[in-house]
């Protein structure tokens, strides 16, 4: 079905793009992907989009003298496609405050930690080193500060004894593939409101119970 028009910005293999492609292929999902934009040529994510007959564009940051003109070119593609929501799905470029303001509350990102903890890169390695007991992922509205903004959806996973960065990343990615389509669905259904930099979700239900790690045996 037609619905909220979303564009997805990528830089690599596009596994989170694929989960959005799969979700939008469902007849009752309230959104459609109108453009996939990569800043890198030849990445797997572009092949995923082409296979699903989604329009693709490459806007190579190296072709522009500065970030402003690069982002102007991306913005032109977004407007031409009629995008109403922009999803950063492994887009490995920091966007400027100007771009964020253009798409205020219409620009979302997924990050592989429970924000505001562990912003930035090399997240899973840092989590293992810190010895925390839980990790997860966060879908949030983008703000000018890196990995900041009102939280829409989070998923938590335990950090297991013997985990390394790779095994933890696999478990977190599984939840990213659930959380990202859920966040887009909630927005598309008009259930998400941002008030005083906090997200309110109409009909929100929190999970029951408490997670404990370790369980105590």
The set of catalytic residues is 111
CA distance 51 to 33: 13
Tokens of 143: 């703000």
CA distance 132 to 192: 30
Tokens of 184: 């887009």
CA distance 172 to 91: 18
Tokens of 144: 């000018």
CA distance 164 to 151: 27
Q: Is the CB of residue 116 less than 8 Å from the CB of residue 146?
A: no
CA atoms within 13 A on the CB side of 188: 24
Which residue shows structure tokens 């998923």? 155
């Amino acid at each position: 079905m037609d619905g909220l028009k979303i564009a997805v910005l990528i830089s690599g293999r596009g596994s989170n793009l694929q989960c959005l492609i799969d979700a939008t292929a469902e007849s009752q999902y309230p959104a459609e992907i109108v453009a996939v934009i990569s800043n890198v040529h030849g990445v797997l994510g572009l092949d995923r989009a082409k296979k699903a007959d989604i329009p693709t564009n490459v806007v190579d940051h190296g072709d522009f003298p500065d970030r402003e003109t690069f982002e102007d070119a991306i913005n032109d593609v977004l407007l031409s496609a009629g995008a109403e929501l922009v999803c950063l799905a492994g887009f490995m470029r920091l966007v400027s405050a100007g771009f964020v303001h253009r798409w205020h509350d219409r620009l979302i990102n997924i990050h592989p930690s429970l924000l505001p903890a562990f912003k930035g890169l090399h997240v899973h390695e840092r989590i293992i080193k810190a010895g925390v007991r839980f990790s997860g992922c966060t879908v949030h509205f983008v703000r000018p500060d890196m990995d900041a903004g009102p939280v829409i959806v989070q998923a938590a996973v335990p950090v297991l004894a013997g985990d390394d960065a790779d095994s933890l990343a696999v478990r977190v990615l599984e939840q990213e593939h659930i959380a990202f389509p859920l966040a887009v669905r909630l927005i598309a259904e008009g259930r998400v409101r941002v008030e005083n930099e906090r997200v309110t979700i109409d009909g929100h239900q929190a999970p029951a119970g408490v997670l404990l790690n370790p369980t105590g045996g």
